Amino acid sequence: MDEQPRLMHSHTGVGMAGHPGLPQHMQEGTGGTDGDGRKQDIGDILQQIMTITDQSLDEAQARKHALNCHRMKPALFNVLCEIKEKTVLSIRGAQEEEPPDPQLMRLDNMLLAEGVSGPEKGGGSAAAAAAAAASGGAGADNSAEHSDYRAKLSQIRQIYHTELEKYEQACNEFTTHVMNLLREQSRTRPISPKEIERMVSIIHRKFSAIQMQLKQSTCEAVMILRSRFLDARRKRRNFNKQATEILNEYFYSHLSNPYPSEEAKEELAKKCAITVAQVSNWFGNKRIRYKKNIGKFQEEANMYAARTAVNAANASSHGSQANSPSTPNSAGSAGSFNMSNSGDLFMSVQSLNGDSYQGAQVGANVQSQVDTLRHVISQTGGYSEGLTANQMYSPQGINANGGWQDAPTPSSVTSPTEGPGSVHSDTSN
């Protein structure tokens, strides 16, 4: 604080005469030669500075102008700035040098990786593609959802950039405003350029915090979008009718052993335009639900049995063999599964041979197969011959333990991919 005396000495002989708005005693007192008078002058000036905000606008303006024009003002201003610098601001200064926020860095990295920030280059498409591959859905469906994902991501990106632009604009406007204000105030208050810079950086930090919130919200939106896209449950679609019929056909025609082999699954997946995993899911669900509520599925089972029987009859009437590509197991154009399991065929032929289904035109060769297969089945102990009319499609396949009776290992089930005559049923063997 060695400037203070210097300032005071430099003040010696300095007058304020001619400056409007200053008290008369100041104007007079400045011409004095004693130190007490000079101190009194400076004290008065400081007092005016301190009380300037209490004055009316016009009065304050006039005083401000007088003070600004005072020849001592620059020196006094510097002194006050330094005092201020060395007290309050020195504390703040220690906090200025901050390392880059790791949280902000993470957000930036993520936004960059997702293609929200940075140059637009179909951001997130890799994620979308990966998700599409993981979901294993049909190609066209994936493509549609992929574009949907990109569209939504693009929307997020647009909102992000718009908001970011707004924040930046607001930040610049506010900074300019504050700088102007401080510069203006620096004419009457001890505000150094350094302090203005510091204030600007404080403003920038505040706006950075807001930006971080924006980035965080954007990241959350992207995560939600991604999770929705990746979560297959959310985009569950029922299989189309044809696919369901193919699967049901296979299931009911292999009811004694509804465990398709890998090859069969692949073939079913191909026919139904779904994945092997979906086929597995479907059979898993079907088995458990059928077993849980057989009565409920009775009608459905009858329907498929009847359909199978009709197909068998048609096939035989057209001179086709039971193990030809157009087997009795196939229902019209929907499927073409080989009748691979004697138990399955038996269930089908129950409908042919039983009281409940007498309208079907059963070919002679089919009837002979029925007899043969009945014999085979009776040997395997799979089913009894006594079926009532309303037991057209009975759940004999399920044993007392809840498992499927005389079910061979799943891999022994004939694959639909196999050619005619490739009967691999354990029971039929």
Partner DNA sequence: TTGTATGATTCGCC
Partner DNA sequence: GGCGAATCATACAA
- CA separation for the pair 150, 114 (Å, rounded): 11
23 binds DNA (CB under 7 A): no
Which residues in the 250-269 window bind DNA by CB under 7 A? Answer: 259, 262
280 binds DNA (CB under 7 A): yes
Tokens of 93: 């200064």
C-alpha dist (Å) from residue 304 to 253, 255, 360: 8, 11, 14
Minimal distance in Å, beta carbon 283 to DNA? 7
Work out which of 34, 94, 140, 236 binds DNA, going by CB under 7 A: 236
Work out which of 84, 189, 235, 424 binds DNA, going by CB under 7 A: 235
Work out which of 5, 95, 233, 364 binds DNA, going by CB under 7 A: 233
Nearer to DNA, 174 or 239 (CB): 239
Minimal distance in Å, beta carbon 311 to DNA? 22
CB-based contacts of 198, cutoff 8 Å, min separation 6: 89, 92, 93, 96
304 binds DNA (CB under 7 A): no
> Residue-wise over 336-369: b if at least 16 C-beta within 10 A, else e?
bbbbbbbbbbbbbbbbbbbebbeebebbebbeeb
Minimal distance in Å, beta carbon 411 to DNA? 8
- Write the DSSP assignment of 28-53 as a string of letters: HHTT--SHHHHHHHHHHHHHHHHHGG
404 binds DNA (CB under 7 A): yes
Which residues in the 114-173 window bind DNA by CB under 7 A? Answer: 135
DSSP 404: B
- CA separation for the pair 181, 48 (Å, rounded): 20
Work out which of 25, 183, 296, 318 binds DNA, going by CB under 7 A: 296
Cβ–Cβ contacts within 10 Å for residue 28, how many?
A: 13
Pick the stretch among 8-16, 67-75, 225-233, 302-310 that binds DNA (CB under 7 A).
Answer: 225-233
Which parts of this chain interact with DNA (CB under 7 A)? 135, 231-239, 244, 259, 262, 274, 277-278, 280-282, 284-285, 287-289, 291, 296, 402-404, 410
